[in-house]
């Protein structure tokens, strides 16, 4: 095991209250999905809307990123509202991946994934244990986004052998134990 001093990865922290996701918010999500599907229908070349998939992290980087997002509790999801950044590009991918589903069934997939209880004012899929929407249904922005602290770590040419993740904002937060490459 390495004895090097851990490097610190700092992420934000959010601690808004949990509350049931109101039916009006689910209706707004449904309307947004209908609009996105309509936009997709009017596209001349829908397949060209599909964005390049973001590679899934693996190994130590995945461990550090997962720890960061879990401790942060989804600060970057707070602006997801009832749209969750979903648009015609997301719909183009989902329709390609699920040719067996009609528009109504696609909308049902999303509505069924809404967090029953979520962080107040945040994305309708932002539950107490993270995102309740499957990666394959999320907007590519959600799959590709990393805040500055994680981005800096992911882009380090030589990753440190040991990392401590610190989530902090407005005097609140938490810190992880030491995460090591070789464990």
Is the distance from CB of 33 to CB of 106 less than 8 angstroms?
yes
Could you tell me the smallest distance in angstroms from the CB atom of residue 145 to ligand SF4? 6
Q: How many residues bind ligand SF4 (CB under 6 A)?
A: 23
- What character string, x for contact with ligand SF4 (CB under 6 A) and - otherwise, covers 49-68? -------------------x
Q: Which stretch binds ligand SF4 (CB under 6 A): 34-42, 55-63, 145-153, 168-176?
A: 145-153
Give the C-alpha distances (Å, rounded to integers) separating 108 from 22, 114, 174.
Answer: 17, 10, 37
Q: Does 142 bind ligand SF4 (CB under 6 A)?
A: yes
Q: Which stretch binds ligand SF4 (CB under 6 A): 21-29, 38-46, 138-146, 170-178?
A: 138-146
Could you tell me the smallest distance in angstroms from the CB atom of residue 90 to ligand SF4? 10
Task: Indicate which single residue of 95, 146, 153, 164 sits in contact with ligand SF4 (rule: CB under 6 A).
Answer: 146
Q: Does 69 bind ligand SF4 (CB under 6 A)?
A: yes
Q: Does 173 bind ligand SF4 (CB under 6 A)?
A: no
CA proximity to 64, closest of 104, 115, 124, 10: 10
CA proximity to 169, closest of 101, 76, 31, 85: 76
Per this entry, what is the length of the chain? 183
Is the distance from CB of 131 to CB of 72 less than 8 angstroms?
no
Task: Indicate which single residue of 40, 76, 164, 179 sits in contact with ligand SF4 (rule: CB under 6 A).
Answer: 76
**Residue 127 to residue 120: CA distance in whole angstroms:** 10
According to DSSP, the β-strands at 117-119 and 18-20 are antiparallel
Q: Does 92 bind ligand SF4 (CB under 6 A)?
A: no
Residue closer to ligand SF4, measured from CB, 27 or 79: 79
- Decide: residue 183, CB within 10 A, 0-12 exposed, 13-18 middle, 19+ buried: exposed
The SS3 of residue 150 is helix
Residues of this chain that bind ligand SF4 (CB under 6 A): 11-12, 68-69, 72, 74-77, 80, 84-85, 123, 125-126, 131, 133, 138, 142, 145-147, 150
């Amino acid at each position: 095991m390495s004895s090097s001093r851990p490097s610190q990865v700092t992420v934000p922290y959010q601690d808004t209250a949990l509350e049931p996701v109101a039916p009006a918010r689910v209706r707004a999500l449904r309307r947004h999905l209908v609009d996105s599907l309509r936009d997709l229908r009017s596209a001349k070349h829908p397949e060209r809307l599909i964005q390049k998939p973001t590679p899934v992290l693996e190994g130590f980087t995945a461990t550090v990123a997962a720890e960061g997002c879990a401790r942060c509790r989804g600060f970057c999801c707070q602006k997801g509202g009832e749209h969750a950044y979903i648009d015609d590009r997301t719909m183009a991918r989902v329709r390609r991946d699920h040719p067996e589903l009609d528009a109504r069934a696609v909308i049902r997939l999303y509505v069924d994934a809404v967090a029953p209880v979520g962080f107040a004012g945040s994305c309708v899929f932002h539950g107490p244990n993270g995102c309740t929407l499957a990666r394959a249904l999320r907007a590519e922005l959600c799959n590709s986004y990393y805040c500055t602290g994680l981005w800096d770590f992911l882009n380090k040419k030589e990753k440190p052998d040991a990392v401590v993740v610190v989530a902090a904002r407005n005097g609140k937060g938490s810190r992880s134990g030491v995460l090591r490459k070789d464990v």
